[in-house]
Amino acid sequence: MNGSSFARLLLIARNTFLEAVRQKFFNVLVVLSIAMIASANFFRQFDFGSSELKFIADFGMGAVLLFGSILSVVVTAQLFFSEIENRTALTMLAKPVHRWEFITGKFLGVFLVLMAFVSLMLFLLAAVLYWRESNLMTYPRYADDFANGRIVNYTGILQLVFSELFKFGLLAAVTLFIASFSNTNLYTVIISFFVMIICQLQYIARDSWSDLDNPILRGIVWMLSLLFPNLQMFNVGEQLVFPTEQVTLSMGGYIGLLGYGAIYIAVLLGLSAYTFRRREI
């Protein structure tokens, strides 16, 4: 990649990012997510004790997963089709901008949006957890629970930022791939959500194909397990935030997870660029 190509990528990414954060949809999602994480404070009335921290973390991570998934799919599709519907893509591609640069720039812009979203949400979650944990530690009745210090692994929350980011990045790359050949925003969004569900269930095909007796069915299930990435693998919140001897994710496993996400993102972007190459705009 020469210097000017890199500059073009950055320019497209920057514009995509700015366009996204100016969208009402993005801002509404951010406000909803903040409200959901902050509302976890009200769970104090249930008086869970130290388990309350797990509940708050689960609830917060659930909010990040829900709104992050919506954001990855909807914003990617919206930003892609807004360029086509407003004819700005035509103007842009008439200049010396390659189509793969357009696709990659769009992805980088969305990736930045996702990074801002995930970092903000998990920072907020960490702050809520820290505040509540500090409170609980002052109660003598929970002394046993905190005998070895804090329960929450705050470094794990930092690690979670990257694993969540790669998961949403993968989802955005899937959406971009579908958008590269589909004609409408709505079709892209619906199909992307279906693909997301298939990716969440990929592990079933992956774990069960070898147990099937019928060779044809076995072959089909095996192929399906290879066609889709395993999104379930990214659900490592508990292992990272509340690690114990039995429940933990090794550093090798964590790096492998990020590598797995990065490979799929790169391949899907390549396929998107290939499909978009000859598309009429």
Q: Which residues contact other proteins (rule: CB under 8 A)?
A: 43, 46, 48, 51, 54-55, 58-59, 61-63, 65-66, 69, 143-144, 147, 181, 193, 196-197, 200-201, 203, 206-207, 223, 225-233, 235-239, 245-247, 249-250, 252-253, 256-257, 259-260, 263-264, 267, 270-271, 274-275, 278
Minimum distance, C-beta of residue 187 to other proteins, in the bound complex (Å): 15
CA pair distance 27, 20, nearest whole angstrom: 9
Whose Cβ is closer to other proteins: residue 15's or residue 50's?
50
Q: How far, in Å, are 224, 235, 238, 249 from residue 246 at the CA level?
A: 32, 16, 11, 10
Whose Cβ is closer to other proteins: residue 88's or residue 208's?
208
Task: Note whether 105 and 201 are within 8 A (CB).
Answer: no
Minimum distance, C-beta of residue 131 to other proteins, in the bound complex (Å): 19
CA pair distance 15, 23, nearest whole angstrom: 12
Minimum distance, C-beta of residue 207 to other proteins, in the bound complex (Å): 8
Whose Cβ is closer to other proteins: residue 78's or residue 275's?
275
Task: Note whether 230 and 206 are within 8 A (CB).
Answer: yes
Task: Note whether 129 and 55 are within 8 A (CB).
Answer: no
Whose Cβ is closer to other proteins: residue 18's or residue 267's?
267
Minimum distance, C-beta of residue 264 to other proteins, in the bound complex (Å): 7
Minimum distance, C-beta of residue 115 to other proteins, in the bound complex (Å): 20
Q: What would the two tokens of residue 176 be?
A: 């971009």
Minimum distance, C-beta of residue 204 to other proteins, in the bound complex (Å): 8
Q: List, as own/partner pairs, every contact residues 32-38 make where C-beta atoms lie below 8 angstroms and the sequence separation is at least 24, other chains included.
A: 32/67, 33/63, 33/64, 33/67, 33/117, 33/121, 34/120, 34/121, 34/124, 36/60, 36/63, 36/67, 37/63, 37/64, 37/121, 37/124, 37/125, 37/128, 38/124, 38/128
Whose Cβ is closer to other proteins: residue 92's or residue 103's?
103
CB atoms within 10 A of CB 266: 12
- Which burial class, exposed, middle or buried, applies to 207 when counting CB atoms under 10 A from its CB (0-12, 13-18, 19+)? exposed
Dihedral sign from CA coordinates of 162, 164, 165, 171: positive
Minimum distance, C-beta of residue 22 to other proteins, in the bound complex (Å): 28
| Residue 95 φ then ψ, to 5° | -80, 170
Whose Cβ is closer to other proteins: residue 214's or residue 246's?
246
Minimum distance, C-beta of residue 232 to other proteins, in the bound complex (Å): 7
Whose Cβ is closer to other proteins: residue 119's or residue 200's?
200
Whose Cβ is closer to other proteins: residue 8's or residue 206's?
206
